[in-house]
Chain A
Amino acid sequence: MTEKKRTREEEGIQVDFGLGGLFKGIGNFIDLLSDMTEKGESVVSRTGEFKVEGLDQARGVYGFSVRMGLGGTPTVEHFGNIRATDEGPVVAEEREPLVDVFDEGELILVVAEMPGVEKDDIQIEVQDDILSLSATGERKYVKELLLPSLVDADTMETAYHNGILEVRLGKAS
């Protein structure tokens, strides 16, 4: 846990052990999404045209994950391929995978959910404390993430099994 993370912010959503504030926000989020889902279904029988750029070619996915992060800070991470732009949501071809980063003492463990690709299609690059993941093939993924510490790229070990990529990196000494 770094000192930086422990610094209290004057502003921001209040987080108690029950994750009250954060979850209140998420509750609103889910309420809105559910309303949207219901609305979406209620118009299924209607005809009409609408455009979300890219939706013709691809399925749009948008989500977030919440977990107790390193040092106990709740972290919210996004994943999916719907990006907000000034012109409205756009569905991209590449999807950001759901990624978890674990601090395991000497090691950093990165677990990415990348279903539907082959191991050979996955590219992993490490530069200082930035990990870049991408996959090409039937499904496309791309993600850049900041690791919690500097790592030694030579120590990298990877495994891909049942749609889950695990990357282990030794921390730089």
Chain B
Amino acid sequence: MSTELGDMFKGLGDLIKLATDLADKVDLSELDEEKIAELRRASQTRVGGMPRGVYGVSVRRGVSGIPRVQPFGNIRRTERGPVVDEVREPLVDVFDEDDVLLVIAELPGVAEKDIQIEIRDGLLKLSTTTKSRRYARELPLPCPVEESTMESAYKNGVLEIRLRKSGAEEGT
């Protein structure tokens, strides 16, 4: 086991503990009545209140057995601290399948017609325009692709996009 990777996964274990501590400790400590009332009002309306924050990582075994860690969610780092955005970065996986790149994105809660897919300059741009759930993500593709070969399917909240690599023979 390489030391760096060992550290990384030790880190992941520590993070889960840290998050568990966070979840356990959060309470209404040090809130005054006015703020509690304010929070309560905010929580009673599902629309218009503070959006729900989501942050996560996916860890997958990479091509050469090296784990790849990819963040997703709608909590962004800013200089003023973390901020919850309305737009969520979806969980996306890219698979290299010889002649084809397969992109799988989890976009639960949107309709297929609300999904926009665009490819430009080696970037795949995903976005949705649904009011209630908004997703957006730009991801660099690992190799050039023929945009005209794009096939996509959306089912049960999962979007699959297939793209033939540039230079790959048709029908192989």
User: Which A residues are within 8 Å of any B CB, using their own CB?
Assistant: 1, 5-17, 20, 22-37, 39-44, 46-52, 55-56, 59-80, 82-84, 88-89, 91, 98, 100, 102, 113-118, 160, 162-164
Contact = CB atoms under 8 A, between A and B. Distances in A.
- Classify the interface of chain A: helix, strand, loop or mixed: mixed
Contacts of B107: 115, 163
Chain B CB within 10 A, most for which of A28, A39, A49, A50:
A50
> Interface residues of B toward A: which range?
35 or more
A61 B43 contact: no
B71 A33 contact: yes
Interface of B: 1-2, 4-20, 22-23, 25-31, 35-36, 38-40, 42-43, 46, 49-50, 52-62, 64-73, 75, 77, 81-82, 84, 91, 93, 106-111, 156-158
A6 B56 CA distance: 29
A55 B29 contact: no
A49 B8 CA distance: 13
A14 B77 contact: no
B28 A5 contact: yes
Contacts of A44: 62, 64, 66, 68
Given A29-B18, A36-B12, A73-B28, A98 B54 contact: yes
